[in-house]
Every structure is written in C-alpha cells, then in structure tokens.
Amino acid sequence: MLRLKKLLKTYKTGDQALKSIDLEIPDGQVLALIGPSGAGKSTMIRCINRLVEPTSGEVWLDDTDLTKLSSGELRQARRQMGMIFQEYALVERLTVMENVLSGRLGYVGFWRSFLRKYPQKDVDEAYRLLDRVGLLAMADKRADELSGGQRQRVGICRALIQDPKLLLVDEPTASLDPKTSRQIMRLICELCAERGLAAIINIHDVALAQMFVSRVVGLRFGAIEFDGTPQELTPDVLTTIYGEEDWEATIEKVEDEDEDEGAAA
Amino acid sequence: MRSAISPELNALIGQKWQRPPLVKRAWLRWMLMIGFAAYLIASFMTIDVNWTRVYEGLDRGAAFILAFTSPDFTSRAGDIWDGMVESIVMTVAASVVGIAISIPIGLGAARNIAPMPVYLICRGIVAVSRALQEIIVAILLVAIFGFGPLAGFLTLSFATIGFLSKLLAEDIESMDRVQAEAIKASGARWMQWINYGVQPQVMPRLIGLSMYRIDINFRESAILGLVGAGGIGATLNTAFDRYEYDTAAAILIIIIGIVMALEYLSGIIRARVQ
Amino acid sequence: MPYHEQNGTRVWQRRTRSESLTRWFGWLLSVAVFVYCWQQISAATTWFFVTDAPRIAGDIWDRATPPKWEYFAQLGRPIWDTLNIATLGTIIALFLAVPTAFMAARNTTPSTVFVRPIALLIIVSTRSINSLIWALLLIAIIGPGVFAGVVAIAIRSIGFCAKLLYEAIEEINEVQVEAITATGASRWQVMVYGIVPQILPAFAGIAVFRWDINIRESTVLGLVGAGGIGLQLSASLNVLAWPQVSLILIVILFAVVISEWVSAKVRGAII
C-alpha cells in the first residue's frame, strides 16, 4: 500500500509543482493520473521514488517512509518500485537482454553486473518476460534497432524483473501510435492483474485511461481536483481539470475492439 | 493467460547468457587480442628506462612543480618580454596572411564550386601543408632564410593555409545547395554568387575556425624558437638548459594565461557571430 | 532601415553612418596592427639572406637529392620507437583522461566547487603546452630517451582527450541515466550501465584521432632528445647530411599519411 501525506514540491525556480498531495493506493490497484501538461503528474511520480527530491511531506510504501531513507536504503527501496518511461529510456547501445537485466542492478553486486554475470534465475526470468511480451527473438538485438512499441515492451520487462510491488508509469503511450498505445496499456494492466501489482499511470489520453483502469485521479496546478471511477468522469469534471472545451467527443465510449495484442513483434 | 510454454522459451530456460561479443568471428577476436597483447609486451621490452636516472630526477621534478608556486618573472624579464612580443607578432602576422590566403585556396578546394584543375591544385597545396609538421617546415625555412622570426612567420602562415583551407572547403561542400542555387538563378556573376550565396552560409564557421587557428598559432609559436625560428621558445629552452625552473614556470604560466584568454575571447566571438 | 538622401530620393544602405564608421575604424586598426607586426618581423630579419634564399634553396635541393636510400636500414629501430611513443603515450593518456573527464563534466563531477576546477585546470594546462616543451621539461627531469617521449606525449594528450570526452559526457541523454537510477542501481552501476555505453563511440573516436596526431608529434620529439626518428633527423641536420635528411622526411611523410589513413578507416568503422 502506498500513501502520500502532504507531499509538496517547490522547484528552485519557485514553481510550486505539487501542493500538499494526500493520496492512498491500496495493493493491486491500478490508478490513472490525468491532468494538463505542467499539472505536476511527472513530478509526483518522480517524488515517489525520489528521482526528484520532494520539498516536504511523506511517502509511505507499506511501513517505510521513503523520504527519510539514506541513499543506501533508498536504493533498496527503489527495487520495489518499477518505473516505465515516456521515451522508453532504454540504454540504446546495450542489447535488449542487457536492458532487461539492468532491472536487477539493485540486487546484484557491482562486479557481477560489470562482467554481465547475472544469476541463472535472473536470466531465466528475463527470458520468460521477453517471451511474455513477445520479444524473445529480439533478445540479442541492440535496443536502438527496435520500434517504439517494442522498446516500450522492453521497458516494461525491465520494470517487472525488479519484482516490484508498485509500478510507476510515466506517459507510457505518448510517443506511440494509437493502436500500439492501446496494446501497451492493455499489456501493462494485464501484467498488473497477473502479478497483483499496484500502479500509477500518468496519461494524457483520457479515453485510453477510462478504458483500462478502475480509478482516475485528476491533477490541476499541483492539486488533486478529482478522485473517482472512470464513470464519474463527466464533462463538468474534465472542465475543472483541463479548462473549458467540448468534452463529449473525448469521453464517448470507445469500444474495445478485439485486437491481436502481445505477439505483434 | 499463456499456460503453455513456447518451445523457443523452453530451449532457452536454464541456458547461460552472455553478451554478444563486439567482434563476431571468434578467431579474429582472439587474433586481435593476442596481437595487441604481443605488441604491448614487445614495446615495453624495447623501452629502456634508466630507473636510477628517473629516481634521481624526481627531486628535480618536485623542484619544478614547486617552482610554479614561486615563478620568477623578474630576473629575465627583458628576455621574456622580447620573446613574448616576438611570439605574438609572429602569431598575428601569420594568422592574417594565412587566413587571407586560405580563403581563395579553400574556395578552390571545394568540389562543388571549383573547376577540376583548380580543385586538384588547391587540394595538393592543402595536402602538402597538412602532411608537413610545423617544426620540420621551420627547420627547412630557417636553413633557407636564416634565423629569426621571418622563418617562424612563414611556417605558421603555411600551416594555417593547410588547416583552414581544408575545413573551409569541407564546409562549403556540405552547405545548403538550394540557397546557393537561388542566388545563381537570379543571374549573379561568379563573384556575386560567392558573395551572396556561399559567404553568408560559411562565414560564422570561418570566423570560429580562424579564432581557433590563432589559438593554435600562438601555441606553436612557443616552440618554433627551439629551432631558431623566433619567439619565446628560445628563452624557454635556455631556462631549461640552465635548470632555471622558476623562470621556465613563469614563461609557461604566461603561455597558459594567454591561451586561456584567447579561448575565452574566441568563445565570445563565436557566440556573437552565430 | 538605414538610408541616405540623394537628390531628394532615399537610397538604401546596408548600415547606418555610425556603424560604417566603427567598421572602418576597426579595419584601420587591424591594418595598423598588422603593419606594426610586419615591421617588427622585418626589423629582425637579415634581408640579405632572404634575397639570397632562392640560391640557397636550390643548393640544399641539389645536395638533398637523391635521398640516401641505403640509410633506411638504420631507421628500423627509430621508426619502431616512434610508433611506441605514440601508442603507449596515447594509452597512458586515455587512462588518465577518463577520470579527469568524469571529474570535469558538470553532470558527473563529485563536486562543482572543488574537484571540477582542478580537473579543468589539468585540462587547460596540459593542453596549452606543446609536447615538445613537455619533452624538454621531462628530459631535464628524467633524462633523454624514449621514456621521456612517452611521458611527454601522454601528458600533452590528457587535456585534449579529457576535453573532448567531458563534452561528450555532458551531452548524454539523462533519461537513460534516470531509468537506471530508478532500478535501485548504485552510483558505479549507473556509471557502467547508464553513462559508459552512451560515450563509448565518442571515446573510441577520440582515442584513434589522438593516436593519429601523436604519430605526427612523436616523429619530431627526437629533435630535443626524446627518442624516435627525430633523433636521426637532428643528428643528420647537425652534420649537414642532406641526403639522409631528405630520406627521413620522406619516411615521416609516409608515416603521417599511413596513420591518417588508419585512423580514418577505424573511425569510419566505429561511426
């Protein structure tokens, strides 16, 4: 269970990115975080695993307050939080397999990782994950030879091999075409369900969020404006989050067509 | 979801994983590694180091480093001043002349604007100038023109031509053709075409490169004195010969200071022209 | 838009009057500086020698041709030494340049107040001073020979390599580093997985580029006594053995062309 208490972030420039956020996410819940650009979605996710240091407030993952940890303890805690990035953030000159295995860096020592001598258990798990997302044949390709959707799948594997309790997902579909976006979102949500993972998914695309998640949180100017189910997301609510606009077209129920997912390599 | 394990996966589970090697062919990889190791060993074997001499030298090394804390600018102030002025004078004169000559040669060495015979001649000049070391050119010119800054001036001008013309020519060859063609289409003469179609595109880089070359010319002018071609090098050489480390340190500090000032200046100029 | 009146019509000008004046003044000043410099050079020159130069050049040419080919047999060892000076010097320089570059790059330096200025100072001072001067200094300290040449080349190359390398480090994609950090990797693991793969191509390019330059520089180090083929050149010049000098120059030219070719090939293969 993840709890944010009065989380506050002010950048050096004086911008208040987060204004005292309180949020509770039970185990196994997948939550979509929506809001306009600059609302503080990215900052919030990065404050949880402290890629961005919060100014004040607490972040509780089960029984530990992450904001109080020393840098060594923080590394231990980060292993429990897998992160998926907008631009995939794969290390492009490493192979797919190295990228996936880099998710285990928090568990293996420096020399083992330097010499690429990962435990057999990790290697097997990496193969299983790559097979699950349909990229087993690509294992020894270099990451920059892959397409956008394939790279994001590798990014997902890297997050999952950490064996996390929580996934932090930052705009997973922003650089992808609509069809691939939907496949990726479905994959993430399926994997969360399979493994009982909680997840926070930053997402621009409201319709896509409504389609896959059970809870939506709307952020505006660093404060929570909405917290409820996708069905409660009415045009009025969207206006308070994003401002005046004709919303009917956006939240029109999108039928989830039966697509071939996963194996499309 | 997927209860059945695919045969591909089954084949891989339990297998060792290794990063694919950089060189795919194993025999080639080993040959390269063994060859390199053999070379290293051979080269180490053939360097004879006189370790006692090195050990004795450590004191002098320490003395030299200490000299940087108390550089002596005064006792040879006259020599240092004359040498520095001569170095700077050579740098300025050679840079002006070198840049002025390298512009036509650079134009001539660009395949997209020069006719073939001109191109070959200019490329030939560039190749000769680049292949010959400054110091070797200086030796020959000193033999021909006698000791003094004239030989140094000619050396630096010659080296500037090779450096600048080549880069200028490459820049012209990679410029945006459409802009140049637009000017040509307006019926401009060759000179007008160069002036309006080519010059605006390569000017910022030419200025940046010229500044960089002035920097190099100054650094080179500091060594030309070693072979009698004028500049601070002779003073420096004398200082080392007499083990006057404090004077040598003073000269080196001045050189470093001027190089830093030139780099700073060229940074400002480059920022302004771009 | 700047213009001036002529017969009652406006005529377009590129610059305003004061702009033109400043420009003209700038040009005038430059010309004056150049004329002064030229006078200085001219005053220090014995013009009799210069007017005599064509005859002397012809004389030297006559003596230097044909090159003394059989002297080549004695150049094997000096060429080998020259190659070693360049290669070992480059390798040592790279070992020292890597930590310097990491300390100098804004995004990897342990401390911007203390460590970074020191690293930058090392880079500037080793870069500003020519390898021949380093060689002079090292000969005064550790005595003449190949070893002094290796060390001189190594010192000279540190600044050059470290500068290019730290610029490459500052240009890396930070998101990839962030992703590795988010997995709970330690500082060193982030370095090996997040940063090193990104700068490896730049590193290889710099190494080969510098090796090429070092071959050139090591051919003349012998002039001050630091080993290599320059020693033979210096000795031949001292006894005015022009046929040997011309052969050595041909060998040096050849070496330079080959090293440039090799380095262009290798760089082409990497990028």
Asked whether the beta carbons of residue A105 and residue C178 sit closer than 8 angstroms, the reply is no
Interface A–C counts its CB contacts (< 8 A) at: 80
- Give the other-Cβ count within 10 Å of C55's Cβ: 10
Q: For residues A197 and A74, state if they share a domain.
A: yes
Cα(B134)–Cα(B142) distance, integer angstroms: 12
Please name the residue that has the structure tokens 């005529």.
C11
- A123 vs B contacts (CB less than 8 Å): 15-17
pLDDT, position A250: 66
CATH for A232 = 3.40.50.300
Asked whether the beta carbons of residue B227 and residue C223 sit closer than 8 angstroms, the reply is yes
Cα(A170)–Cα(A152) distance, integer angstroms: 11
Quick one: how far is CA C246 from the chain centroid?
Answer: 25
- C175 vs A contacts (CB less than 8 Å): 85, 87, 89
Residue type, A68: K
Q: For residues A245 and A188, state if they share a domain.
A: yes
- C37 vs B contacts (CB less than 8 Å): 89-90, 92-93, 96
Q: For residues A53 and A169, state if they share a domain.
A: yes
Last-in-domain residue among A117, A136, A158: A158
CB-nearest to C216 from B39, B58, B133 is B133
* Subunits with 3+ C-beta pairs closer than 8 A to B: A, C
Give phi and psi for A19, each to the nearest 5. Answer: -115, 90
Instruction: State mean pLDDT over C160-187.
Output: 91
Q: Degrees (nearest 5) of the Cα angle A173, A177, A180? A: 70
Residue C1: pLDDT band with limits 50, 70, 90:
low
Cα(B262)–Cα(C101) distance, integer angstroms: 22
What 3-state class would DSSP assign to C200? helix
- C182 vs A contacts (CB less than 8 Å): 49, 51, 78, 81, 83, 168
Q: How far apart are the first and last CA of chain A?
A: 34
Which residues are registered as beta bridge partners of A228?
A216
Higher pLDDT: B4 or C55? It is C55
- A91 vs C contacts (CB less than 8 Å): 176, 179-180, 193-194, 197-198
Residue boundaries of the structural domains of chain C: 1-44, 75-270
pLDDT, position C271: 63
Cα(C147)–Cα(C139) distance, integer angstroms: 9
Which residues are registered as beta bridge partners of B83?
none
**Distance from A71 to chain C by nearest Cα, in Å?**
9
Q: Which CATH number fits domain C75-270: 3.90.1720.10, 1.10.3720.10, 1.10.10.10, 2.40.170.20?
A: 1.10.3720.10
- Give the other-Cβ count within 10 Å of A112's Cβ: 16
Quick one: how far is CA A197 from the chain centroid?
Answer: 11
Please name the residue that has the structure tokens 């003596």.
C63
The secondary structure of C239-271, three-state, reads CCCHHHHHHHHHHHHHHHHHHHHHHHHHHHHHC
Higher pLDDT: A149 or C12? It is A149
Last-in-domain residue among A141, A158, A175: A158
pLDDT tens profile C181-194: 999 898 899 999 99
- In chain A, the DSSP E strands lie at 2-10, 16-25, 30-34, 56-61, 64-65, 81-84, 166-170, 198-202, 215-220, 223-228
Which residues are registered as beta bridge partners of A169?
A84, A201
Q: For residues A154 and A205, state if they share a domain.
A: no
Q: Residue C68: pLDDT above 60?
A: yes
Q: Which CATH number fits domain B68-273: 3.40.50.1970, 1.10.3720.10, 3.30.70.100, 3.40.50.300?
A: 1.10.3720.10
**Distance from C173 to chain A by nearest Cα, in Å?**
9
Instruction: State mean pLDDT over C6-31.
Output: 80
Cα(B95)–Cα(B81) distance, integer angstroms: 21
Say whether residue A140 is in contact with chain B using an 8 A CB cutoff: yes
Q: Chain C residue with minimal CA distance to B245?
A: C137
pLDDT 10s per residue in chain B (274 long)? Answer: 444 577 778 878 777 888 877 777 888 889 989 999 999 999 888 887 778 888 888 888 888 888 888 888 888 888 888 888 889 999 999 999 999 999 999 988 888 888 888 889 998 888 888 888 888 899 888 888 888 888 899 999 999 998 999 888 888 888 777 777 777 777 777 778 878 777 887 888 888 888 889 988 998 888 888 888 888 888 888 888 887 888 888 888 898 889 888 888 888 888 887 6
- A126 vs B contacts (CB less than 8 Å): 17
Cα(C138)–Cα(C133) distance, integer angstroms: 9
Per the rule left: phi > 0, alpha: psi between -120 and 50, beta: everything else, B40 is: alpha
Q: For residues A256 and A149, state if they share a domain.
A: no
Q: Considering its fold, how many domains does chain A have in total? A: 2
Distances (CA, A) of A5 to A2, A60, C85, C114: 10, 8, 64, 38
Asked whether the beta carbons of residue A89 and residue C194 sit closer than 8 angstroms, the reply is no
Asked whether the beta carbons of residue C186 and residue A105 sit closer than 8 angstroms, the reply is yes
Asked whether the beta carbons of residue C183 and residue A76 sit closer than 8 angstroms, the reply is no
- C132 vs B contacts (CB less than 8 Å): 135, 223, 226
Say whether residue A115 is in contact with chain B using an 8 A CB cutoff: no
pLDDT, position A264: 40
Tokens matching residue C201? 């191509």
Instruction: State mean pLDDT over C212-223.
Output: 89
Q: For residues A154 and A209, state if they share a domain.
A: no
DSSP letter assigned to residue A142 = B
CB-nearest to A106 from C173, C185, C198 is C185
Q: Which parts of chain A register pLDDT below 70?
A: 246-265
Please name the residue that has the structure tokens 């060993």.
B41
**Distance from B5 to chain A by nearest Cα, in Å?**
9
**Distance from A47 to chain C by nearest Cα, in Å?**
11
Say whether residue A194 is in contact with chain B using an 8 A CB cutoff: yes
Q: For residues A47 and A100, state if they share a domain.
A: no
Inter-residue contact A168 to A49 (CB < 8 Å): yes
Q: How far apart are the first and last CA of chain C?
A: 48
Residue C61: pLDDT band with limits 50, 70, 90:
confident
Share of chain C above pLDDT 90, in %: 29
Domain of residue A138 covers 88-158
Q: What's the alpha-carbon Rg for chain A, to the nearest Å?
A: 19
Helices (H), B68-133: 77-108, 116-131
Sequence-ordered list of residues with C-beta below 8 angstroms from that of C35, at least 6 positions apart, any chain:
none
pLDDT tens profile C245-255: 899 988 988 88
B positions 2-41 inside 8 Å of A (CB) = 2, 5-6, 8-9, 12-20
Asked whether the beta carbons of residue B19 and residue A136 sit closer than 8 angstroms, the reply is no
Q: For residues A183 and A242, state if they share a domain.
A: yes
Average pLDDT, rounded, for chain B:
84
Residue C195: pLDDT band with limits 50, 70, 90:
very high
Say whether residue B159 is in contact with chain C using an 8 A CB cutoff: no
Query: How many alpha carbons lie under 13 Å from residue A263 in its C-beta half-sphere?
Result: 5
- A107 vs C contacts (CB less than 8 Å): 184
Asked whether the beta carbons of residue B219 and residue C130 sit closer than 8 angstroms, the reply is yes
**Distance from A69 to chain C by nearest Cα, in Å?**
13
Q: For testing the chain A interface, which of B6, B8, B10, B12 should be mutated: the one with the most A CBs within 10 Å?
A: B12
Neighbour-count burial of B189, counting CB atoms closer than 10 A to its CB (0-12 exposed, 13-18 middle, 19+ buried) = exposed
